[in-house]
Amino acid sequence: MGSDTKMQRLSSLLELSSMLASQLELGTLLQTVVDSARGLCRADVSGLLMLAEEDPTRYGGFWVSGWDTPPAHYPTGAGVFNLPITTGRPVRVDHVPSHPRSVGTPPGHPPVGPFLGVPLRFQDQILGTLFVANFAGRPFFTEEDEELLLAFAAHASVAIHNARLYRQVEELAILRERERLAMDLHDTVAQIFFSIGMEAERLREVVPASHRDRLEYLRELASRGAARVRAAIAELHDRGGLPGDANIYRQLAALIEEFKTRSGLEIGLVVTGHVHRVPDPVRDLMCRAAREALTNVAKHAHADMAVVNLAIDSDTVTLTVQDNGVGLRPGAVDPSPGARRFGIATLRRLAERLGGGAEIRSGVEGGCLLRVWAPLSPSDGRTGGNGVVPDPGPHRG
């Protein structure tokens, strides 16, 4: 092959590589790769066999170019077409049916003669194989073709890896947007319905009996609205969670739904701040504290309503649970042996290990209030041993 022709092919390789780098939509990119390989090697047909991204032991897709009727089946794994995947090396064959690994072709498959296949490799991972082929009686592929296709496959592998990363970023952005919408629904519409129900309950004691049916109807409407919002939030979550996601908002919401069903309590949840910033040990502490508090409300408080408030500020996570019950009885948190402590001693020890603390007391307007706090990072140096409750920031409800 003349030097001018060789330079033209190298120039084409550079142009194609630059074009691949600009494509981020994976499906379009893969078809571009297989079409470009066919033109680069001046082949009759070309193909791209990808391994599944989530399970490299399975095939994940087959793209072809030049076939009037694309093959109906993937290569089976036993023939020449798969050798670049199984060996990790290029394969150049002058006549496929004569190769010892040839297993024939399925009905309707074009008669392939010369074949050249190379692995698609990113770092140490085989992504698939890129191959070109000519029909029987057409020219063989040369060593130069092999070098050119190997170089092109290297650029294509990087482009495929980048496109996959871009797709993952897009999917993560969509999932995080669903999470944000779910929390916005909870923190606005759901809390409005909850507040309407609370106000209707308070008004029952002051309005004439003739109007109480209307108040009950108002409470029922608020309850229906809250249920619709919860269903919408659940649907947003069911469409896909964040990878490895078990954030504190979801866990608290599930915990509260469980208690509402089991106890009949009306329980509101208010969350402020970024839930994804809460580390696992702090998340576990807060969920344990919420479960302990709600269990005691259901057993001892004679309450019909409670509010769980989680505030995540720049350096501290604070959980507050308050009910509208009878409040603490004398000796309820007495440290003497045998006194009922509502689990506060255990919660305080766990919180202090993380640099935080816990307290329980009667609320200003009645009922009982439990507060547990911990730093977002142990390096914050917060401790609960001094008995000072850090300012948790503004709370709603």
Cα–Cα dist 133/113, whole Å: 7
Question: Domain end: 109, 141, 168, which one?
Answer: 168
Q: What is the pLDDT of residue 397?
A: 32
Q: What is the pLDDT of residue 391?
A: 38
Share of residues in the chain with pLDDT > 90 (%): 20
Cα–Cα dist 311/376, whole Å: 11
Tokens 């915990």 found at: 255
Residue 179 inside a domain? The answer is no
Torsion of CA 159, 164, 166, 170, to 10 degrees: 160
For the chain, how many structural domains are there in total?
A: 2
Residue 180 inside a domain? The answer is no
Question: Domain end: 138, 168, 198, which one?
Answer: 168
Whether 119 and 263 share a structural domain: no
In a 10 Å sphere around its CB, with 0-12 CB exposed, 13-18 middle and 19+ buried, how is residue 243 labelled?
A: exposed
Whether the pLDDT of residue 139 is over 60: the answer is yes
**Least confident residue range of 80-94, 278-292, 306-320, 365-379:** 365-379
Residue 325 inside a domain? The answer is yes
345: pLDDT confidence band, cut at 50, 70 and 90? confident
234: pLDDT confidence band, cut at 50, 70 and 90? low
Whether 10 and 155 share a structural domain: yes
Q: What is the pLDDT of residue 379?
A: 43
388: pLDDT confidence band, cut at 50, 70 and 90? very low
Structural domain of 340: 247-397
Backbone angles phi, psi at 339, to 5 degrees: -75, 145
Residues 6+ apart with CB under 8 A from 155: 13, 16, 17, 20, 21
Residue 39 inside a domain? The answer is yes
338: pLDDT confidence band, cut at 50, 70 and 90? very low
Residue 132 inside a domain? The answer is yes
Backbone angles phi, psi at 323, to 5 degrees: -120, 175
More confident residue, 134 or 3: 134
Average pLDDT over residues 173-202: 72
Are residues 392 and 320 in contact, defined by beta-carbon separation less than 8 angstroms?
yes
Q: What is the pLDDT of residue 244?
A: 41
Cα–Cα dist 194/225, whole Å: 9
Q: What is the pLDDT of residue 70?
A: 64
Residue 340 inside a domain? The answer is yes
What single letter denotes the amino acid at residue 57? Answer: T
Question: Domain end: 103, 138, 168, which one?
Answer: 168
Whether the pLDDT of residue 390 is over 50: the answer is no
Whether 155 and 251 share a structural domain: no
Q: What's the CATH code of the domain at 20?
A: 3.30.450.40
Cα–Cα dist 271/351, whole Å: 20
Are residues 91 and 116 in contact, defined by beta-carbon separation less than 8 angstroms?
yes
Residue 19 inside a domain? The answer is yes
DSSP structural state of residue 277: G
| pTM of the shown model | 0.48
Q: What's the CATH code of the domain at 265?
A: 3.30.565.10
Residue 239 inside a domain? The answer is no
Q: What is the pLDDT of residue 243?
A: 41
Share of residues in the chain with pLDDT > 70 (%): 78
Q: What is the pLDDT of residue 183?
A: 67
Are residues 355 and 378 in contact, defined by beta-carbon separation less than 8 angstroms?
yes
Whether 141 and 251 share a structural domain: no
